[in-house]
Amino acid sequence: MENGRSEEEEEGYDRAKEVKQFDDSKIGVKGLVDSGITSIPRFFIHPPDSLPCTATATATATATAVAVAVAAPPPPSSYVIPTVDLSGFDSDRRSIIDNQIRDASRTVGFFQVTNHGIPSEVLDRMIVAIKAFNEQPTESKAIHYHRQLERNVSFTSNSDLYRSKAACWRDTITVRWGPNLDISEIPEIYRSEIVEWGRHVQRLGETLMEILSEGLGVEGGRLKELSCTVGKIMKGHYYPFCPQPDLTVGIATHTDPGVLTVLLQDQIGGLQVKHGEHWVDVQPVRDALVINIGDLLQIISNEEYKSVEHRVLANNLRQPRISIGVFFNPSKREDFYGPLPELISPDKPALYRSFKLSEFLTMFLRTDFGNKPLINYFHL
């Protein structure tokens, strides 16, 4: 910086102006692709040391033409994310299922579930509906594009567009389930699919919460008592083709802030999980759902369960990638949360302080992806 001016200002680049122009256009990333661009706007370019790629990254024509060497990350791991077959949940297989989920939650923080009771047709219809919404004409989608937090349904590109240091290559539909959600708010093009999907995911979420509670050695309904199955947010992500996938990402490295995430992904791939020092691909499994532990559950379990970093690569294929995540969160904003008292002893002291959920949510809205992990603010 010189004379109080940033490097970008010295170069004549006004990032804030470019970001606002993009946001005001309401076309999303899909609209940029449809316009025929061959290079991505500068505010989508991530620092080289934060990118999954090895070797060098060269700035586009709008940036400084300097090649930056990037230290090669550890080689890809051959580790495979566990898959748990939920068939026979009410039979003598229950103990096997419980043990597999408990072990995966303690070590990897991620696992996939098959035979979960949600019909293939429901999953397929969800993928098709989210894809169909995003591939409407821009004017049809634009009426739903906004950043008003008080509204339950929205369409945006990058919810943290104005806070993050670099945008990610995706567009997102958000639906906040709850008592205040009026079904008519949901665009008709995916309304019936969302309602059906939500009913099935609620049942699965309650089952998983019961198993996870028992895995901690507490009553099966303990997490439900804390309202962990009540607050739900759905995000339908659309990752179009990226002309420069080595310069950006679909979603930056992060952990999920809530209790538990249930994710439906198509067969394109791109989701990666940090396991030790390696990044592991979460290979799509037909009709499987990806489950991962969130920050709040790591806190509530006093680190018995792990919330781990994950990311999504920019899509280098001509066909879009679709994923739909349901994020389970507590609903009692003014209640206190922290490690369960049943898990605290002189030998295992509390690792986190107690806090109101409202404080946690406020901190989340102020925290950028890639900065200090949210969970660290509550660590003792």
Residues 6+ apart with CB under 8 A from 239: 169, 170, 250, 268, 270, 312, 314, 315, 320, 321, 322, 323
Residue 352 domain-assigned (yes or no): no
**pTM for the full model?**
0.89
Least confident among 11-25, 53-67, 220-234: 53-67
**For residue 285, is pLDDT > 50?**
yes
Domain that holds residue 263: 9-336
Structure confidence at residue 128 as a pLDDT band (50, 70, 90): very high
What is the average per-residue pLDDT within 65-77?
Answer: 39
Q: Residue 50 maps to which CATH number?
A: 2.60.120.330
Q: Which of helix, strand or coil describes residue 233? A: strand
Q: Which residue has the higher pLDDT, 338 or 72?
A: 338
Number of structural domains (the chain) is 1
**For residue 246, is pLDDT > 90?**
yes
The amino acid at residue 282 is V
Nearest to 201 by CA among 116, 101, 259: 116
Residues 6+ apart with CB under 8 A from 95: none
Residue 372 domain-assigned (yes or no): no
Residue 341 domain-assigned (yes or no): no
Residue 62 domain-assigned (yes or no): yes
State the residue for tokens 């309904």: 221
